[in-house]
Structure 1
Amino acid sequence: MSNLFESHRIGDLTLPNRVVMAPMTRARGTADGLATESMATYFAQRASAGLLISDGIPPNLVGTASAGIAGLRNDAEAESWRQVTDAVHAGGGRIFAQIMHGGRMGHETTTGLRPVGPSVVAADSQVFTAAGFVPAPEPRELAAGEVTEQAEAYAAASRRAVDAGFDGVELHGANGYLINQFLSSNANLRTDRYGGTIANRIRFAVEAAAATVDAVGAGRVGIRLSPGAGLGDIVEDEMPELYGALLDELGRLDLAYVHLVASAEEEILLDLRRRWGQTLIINPSSWLTRGDSVFGASSTDLASADHWLGLGADLISFGRPYLANPDLVERLRLGLPLAEADVATYYAGGDSGFIDYPAHADTGQEDVA
């Protein structure tokens, strides 16, 4: 069994530990889509992670899911991220950009454009705008030629990301966004080569990944998936077979990693582990036990990390624990208690609840392990 604090290699990178900071939307970009100095501070504070994964970053205007997000839609936005990647590297860290096309999970008040999706089916869900959360609108169906254009958008944004100093990219194929919408059987009602059968429903994900590999190299490309999570009003018929077929096809591309949310039964995830021969990141938050929490899953902890390492995961991603614990690796290593983040500041903007959480050395906590 691997130890959480052992090194691991992905692509050309040697990670000093197996702790990954999961991608989390913090909505701290400028109104015109630029990364900020505070964002550079935020990620640099957490550079002791084996790997940092950025907020979801839109690859183009129509793919912008939320207000307040820094983009990779053009060269100016990409250049604004350089202060982030420079700060992380100065702190000894490594960072991937998560490329997130919102598809139908966008809003015209954010982009000036009607959102697009596989089919004209609105999500029974909320989207984040400058005015707060509002019902998701009805999207415009992508024409066949436009589907290829949107797959290529991931590749174009990835080139800009690498040029801006990111060590690699992660395609966001989870949580109800565009790739996940094509995988779906209720958001995707197409009758062409992108809909209906499993082979057709996985086609967009594979084409987006292949285009990105061609753009920046396989060792710089990962993908995040959430089998059966149901977020963004997604239903996936034949879910185990769907994701098995997808991983088989992605395996031919020799991606750096697959990042799975533990959103399905353990046996399904273990089967996917067996089918995937490269690095596997698991986010152990259990979407099967949502309870009454507005955010659903319980957070990843050391016990769940060790459990999944024992089952064959290579790396473990931590989401919410990283919000209030910039030195999470050290706290886990020393067995220190974890601070709780203030939910009200998740998308509030500004530095409060963003870069003002102290490291344990500044709190007077004593080592217990």
Structure 2
Amino acid sequence: MTDNLFQPYALNNTIELSNRILMAPLTRCMADDDLVPTRAMADYYGRRGDAGLIVSEAVIIRPDGQGYPNTPGLFTPEQIRGWSEVTAAVHKNGGKIFAQLWHTGRVAHPHFFGGGEVLAPSAVGVEGTVPRMRELTYQTPKAASHEEIAELVKDYAQAAANAIDAGFDGVEIHGANGYLIDQFLHHDSNRRSDEYGGTPQNMARFALEVVDAVAGRIGNDRTALRISPGAYFNMAGDSRDRTVFDYLLPELEQRELAFLHIGIFDDSTEFDYLGGRASAYVRANYGKTLVGVGSYSPESASSAIDEDKFDLIAIGRPFIANPDYVARVRGGEALVPYSEDMLATLV
């Protein structure tokens, strides 16, 4: 039985979801060469409007945040207009949609923004090549100055305002999966000794500054955050990371966000320094609305919600394979299996 997935859920007094199923952010690399969302993208999201909430693919807040080809932006008038077509398509079908705000930090590449420096907490790079463009090797980043950090905070807030102008119902700040904000939160990538590094309070400072700037601009009721307490993607784990999140989570709880979203590919993954799963760790240390994700079936998600492991479930790849995912699950119909060749087109 999966009946609890179809219960309405109020994020707050501003936003009520028609069900507990979220479409997870799924990078598709299908924007045009100016990083403007296309009509095909609007149709793609519109077809999935019966999700309780769609979290868009990650959207870069400014040119030097780009680390993959044809990922959409939210910093030019043309991009805002493109996204307005997407949000209109979702709303026409009765849905709600948040923009996921993104800067890739040390996994950005100058190829995408005409040259220049890659910004990160510290001058510590990652090895390897850019996905989908294997000829591009990652660069050693520059440790962001205080002035550059302040500009980044302002640009996150401006992107949030742009999202509201484009018709989004809110934003999810991407603070997970080894990208810029997450890089400040882990010792592997943050080697600073100033007020942005070294101690849990300092390492959490940038994340909280971004959250506060965005919430101050568009409201905490329209602001959400995704986090990865367990390092697992473009990041090495460190047992000291736990104390950073031990500090961060109570601070976030005080801010009355729309929700907190776990960033993990498979929630069965356990982290010794978190004492088990990332979702269990966050649930034990954060009392507000929590979104689980990571290889859940409708049945396992329903059971997890029944057991109060989280409040909402984000579904990823099955939504690529099944635009009508919610209707299929509600009707007890078989789901179309996901396959990698589905990434070639927007259906």
Deviations 1:265-304 (CA, angstroms, capped at 9, x unpaired): 5466334213323211111x2xxxxxxxxxxxxx321132
**1:176-215 alignment runs, 5 A limit:** 176-215=178-217
2:252 to 241, 250, 253: 250
**Which amino acid is the alignment partner of residue 117 of structure 2?**
R
Partner of 1:301: 297
Q: Deviations for 1:35-55, whole angstroms, at most 9, x for unmatched residues?
A: 110000000010010000000
The answer to whether structure 1 residue 335 and structure 2 residue 345 are counterparts is no
- Which residue number corresponds to residue 156 of structure 1? 158
Is contact 2:279-2:292 (8 Å) kept? no
Match of 1:277 among 287, 294, 297: 287
**Mapped partners of 2:261, 2:61: distance in 1:** 20
Output the amino acid matched with 2:300: S
Give TM-score, length-normalised by structure 2: 0.91
Which residue number corresponds to residue 3 of structure 1?
A: 4
Which residues of 2 match residues 317-356 of structure 1 at below 5 A? 317-346=314-343, 348=344, 352=345, 354-355=346-347
SS in structure 2 at match of 1:104: helix
Q: Which SS does the other structure have where 2:4 is aligned?
A: coil
Q: Report which of the two has the higher share of helix.
A: 2
> Where does structure 1 differ by over 4 angstroms across 4 or more consecutive aligned residues?
263-268
Pairs within 5 Å for 1:1-369? 3-11=4-12, 12-112=14-114, 113-128=116-131, 131-132=133-134, 134-261=136-263, 262=267, 264=270, 266=276, 269-283=279-293, 285=294, 299-312=295-308, 313-346=310-343, 348=344, 352=345, 354-355=346-347
Q: Aligned partners of 1:268, 1:240: CA distance in 2, in Å?
A: 11
Report the identity percentage.
36
Question: Secondary structure in 2 aligned to 1:194?
Answer: coil
C-alpha separation in 2, matches of 1:132 and 1:344? 19
Q: 2:5 is matched by which residue type in structure 1?
A: L
TM-score, normalising length: structure 1: 0.86
User: 1:218 Cα shift?
Assistant: 0.2
Gap runs ≥5 in structure 1: 286-298, 356-369
Unaligned runs of 5+ in 2: none
Root-mean-square deviation (CA), in Å? 1.9
Question: Structure 2: how far apart are the matches of 1:9 and 1:127?
Answer: 39
Q: How far apart, in 2, do the equivalents of 1:148 and 1:301 lie?
A: 41
Q: Are 2:186 and 2:231, in contact at CA under 8 Å, matched by a contact in 1? A: no
Secondary structure of the corresponding residue to residue 53 of structure 1: strand
SS of residue paired to 1:20: strand
Distance 2:240 2:131 in 1: 30
Number of aligned residue pairs: 335
Q: Report if the CA contact (8 A) 1:58-1:65 is conserved.
A: no
Conserved in 2, the CA contact under 8 Å of 1:181 and 1:188?
yes
